[in-house]
Amino acid sequence: MSDQTPGNDPSNMPPPPPDAGAPPPSWDAPPPPDAGESAPTWDAPPPPTMGDAPAGEWAQTDYAAPPPAADYAAPPPAAGYGDPYATSAPPMAYPGVPPGYQPKQKMVAGLLGIFLGAWGVHSFYLGDSKKGVIQIVVSLVTCGIGGLWGLIEGVMILTGNINTDANGVPLVD
């Protein structure tokens, strides 16, 4: 048996073209000067211009002018969907409240006064740190009996007798 398969048999291969090793001709290359009349002619078509495209096909003029800016506007959001980057609610403005200041909550301050009033936690929450330190000292000196002061203030906050924080900003419900 032969080591060669029918596909690898050199006798079955077609002969190579005469200029197999030469690079393909370019449109800009002139014919060799000694080729004479047998040399092929180099009649290259002219390069296309902007108006040469047939109707209905793409032409360079299709993208020469940018589309109007209105074409770049984002589509409106679909129904039921809001802006994912928007905050849930705009901050509420209270009279006399500086911008960016978060008003204190009445329920939080009252419950802190009732449960942790002996340590002045509700006073610290409302922004009156001097009063909070005094409540701690009174509770320590009186062995906890001064804690009634915080309990009474917590009830007063919940009933509405105390309705502002240390800065004079009204407490919110």
- Sequence-distant (6+) residues with CB within 8 A of 115 are 154
Cβ density class 56-71: b for 16+ within 10 Å, e for less? eeebeeeeeeeeeeee
pLDDT, tens digit, 9 for 90 and up, residues 72-129: 666 666 666 666 666 666 556 666 677 788 889 999 999 999 999 999 999 999 999 9
Cα distance between residue 79 and residue 130, in whole Å = 53
3-state secondary structure of 116: helix
Boundaries of every domain in the chain: 111-159
pTM of the model: 0.47
Mean pLDDT, rounded, of the chain: 75
8 A C-beta contact, residue 110 and residue 157? yes
Angle at 108 between CA 107 and CA 112, to 5 degrees: 115
- For 41-83, the pLDDT digits (tens) are 656 666 666 555 555 555 555 455 665 665 566 666 666 666 6
Token pair 């001064």 is found at 146
Report the pLDDT value the prediction gives residue 100, as an integer from 0 to 100.
Answer: 80
